[in-house]
A and B are shown apart, each in its own frame.
Chain A
Amino acid sequence: MQLSLGPTQAQLDSCVTCGLCLPHCPTFRLTGDETASPRGRLTAMGAIAEGAVAADEVYARMLSFCLQCRACEAACPSLVPFGQMMEGARARLARERPTTTGRIRRLLVGKLLNLKWLLALVTSGVGLVQRLGIMRLLPRRMRLARGLRRQRVFPHSAVGVHDVAPAVPAGSVALLAGCVMDQWFPAVHDATRGVLSMAGYKVDSPETQRCCGALAAHEGAERDAARMAERNVTALQGYDYIVSDAAGCSAHLKDYGHWAEGGGSVAARTRDITEFVAELIDTGRLPEVDGDGGEVAIHDPCHLRHAQRIVDAPRKIVRAAGHTPVEIDPDGLCCGAAGLYMVYEPDTAEALGERKREQVEMAGPTTVVSANPGCEIQLRAHLGKGYRVLHPIELYWEALNR
């Protein structure tokens, strides 16, 4: 499949520079600076495409400062495909102006994330560090480790798991295990499998699947991203549905049409676990459980709310679990995690994380649900000990097993 590099002229033309995206951009809200806004970034991309100025480190910085939360996209009345444009611009910049840091980052997200043994090793390391209580010795950029769940020293993976099919299965589901999701959040996968089995689905997690390639795509490692997409198109064929319980992954699978031959079919069959389960609750195939109605704060991951426009589903699941959903942010501004952004841009991530903490504290509940692993890590790191942060599907699974 022919990948187009950089934003296309047609994409650039689709912005009329009205500025309605500005208030939805977390980096613009923090800085007030047009160069840190979606419109500013698009203008810069246009200037580079026209050749008005050369792509240099200032341009690179403008691109890398973006969280790729795609909140601007949801707000855009002209339907500018900002996420794709940013991915394209980063890929083009990586090709035309390669830097060492860029190469390392792309190596990490394009190659290393697929090395399961390496991830397992890191996970064991984290598990050990957590048990030894030496977290505070980690360098600043690694502080996000504060937000990790307690990890196993001997990690387990969902890849290759084939759950027993019900007598008359409602359909077949491929669970996208993911990379860090698989290693660091096994309990979420357990809950997902449990809930889907209960609803009568046969759940597999095919052996040949790879990381979805979202992080590679965001980082401009377009060839790696394409390769992963191609592999997954093959690995995921034949299933009625493809379900992911990480919003970043489900959002990217829905973009597969741009990444691989046959990707459109994956995109059409992909559901985020929250939308899938919410629909099953709606149709009565999954029950609503009585509970104490305890309040649960809803954190909307950007790739759920903005990229996939899924807003009601997590709230519905929380209610079905017998809880009362509580809003924390009318704009759904990014928490600052944004994939690896929190590692590359610790200051901005920190500022946004603190904002989010204030919002959660204002809202009241001490349980917070988030349907994406990155956000969960960030929330836990910022909220500290008094808070419980988990995936809405875990909350629901807990309720079902009460």
Chain B
Amino acid sequence: MTVLKAELARLAKGMFADPIPAAPSVELTVAPAQVEDAAAILRFASKVGLRVLFWGGGTHQGIGNAVAPDIVMTTHRLDKIVDWQAEDLTIVVEAGVTVSDLEAQLQQRGQTAVLPESPAGATVGGLVAAGLSGWRRLRYGPTRDRILEVVLATGDGRVVRGGGPLVKNVTGYDLPRLATGSLGSLGLIARLCLKLWPLAADRGMVEVADPQMALRTAYRPLAVIETTERSVAYLAGTRAELEAQAARLGGRLVAGHRWPEPLAGPREFVLRVPAGEIGWFVDEMRVNEWAFQAAHGVGEVRLVVDRGDDEQLARLREEAENLGGALVAYSSPEDGVFDPWGAAPESADLQRRVKAAFDPAGVANPGILPGGI
């Protein structure tokens, strides 16, 4: 045992980091600055069976089954913007770059990576690992459609690259999309190439009475969001386009975008259902008096509930699952009352085998996926 510890200490030299207060307490916290260093730790971990928890900004660690780690690996030293090809609308970044830094830089040249609007400190790698898409998904599609290339330090300690830094590419299996939303179950997402979009000239909002009708009348709005208080269509384009959209919607154009404030509460959930079915669920939210934000046309509802609403939640989950959807916990998975994922997917067996292809020893965020994969 001491031999192993000594070896680990030797490997981790130069990577030691202070323990992260919000993370589970572990003996070793490492912050590799090179993907090869991360791979070396994982290779060792695989060899001796130490569980590794990956940590970005810690803003979305509540997603998924709890991991009981032996090692925490953070990405805060993987923080470089490697290559920005502004004229090709692509950028290569390391996982630990924060979303706010990246988007601020991109904005200076009129571009965006369309990453989710996120709390301070959220990292690109973390959000991609969590598979999160922002409000603008309705117009630009999910985040995974903009991940062009990924470099992984796999669970068994290899440095594997998939995809390529090109806007169109079908060479080989789609590792970038597989890694998106994998929650670290395949290994550490160390570097990414993102597809960028030019920012529209202007932005505006129109309050609408019927969000489903707004989806049909506006031409490809960025988002149509219904909250407890109101429904708003978010628009982008030239001034003339915005005015035309507002006329179609029959509402008053307000300049700029104000996205809904993040919901905070004892228990956060995301409900995902077929876009056409969202109405029933929104009605349920209102009946239960839960704070919610519903993305129409996408089929996603963010909600916070109090402890003690388990019966209603169970009913909501059952309805969602009957429609092929899910109710996923985004916070306090450890409260034990509610499984964070719900029913295991029918492809669980395949998923287990795919994880094993990258992480045969099961050390990379073990058990975090549905079905304890």
A and B touch in the complex (CB under 8 A): no
Where the two chains meet, the residues of A that have a C-beta atom closer than 8 Å to any C-beta of B are none
Where the two chains meet, the residues of B that have a C-beta atom closer than 8 Å to any C-beta of A are none
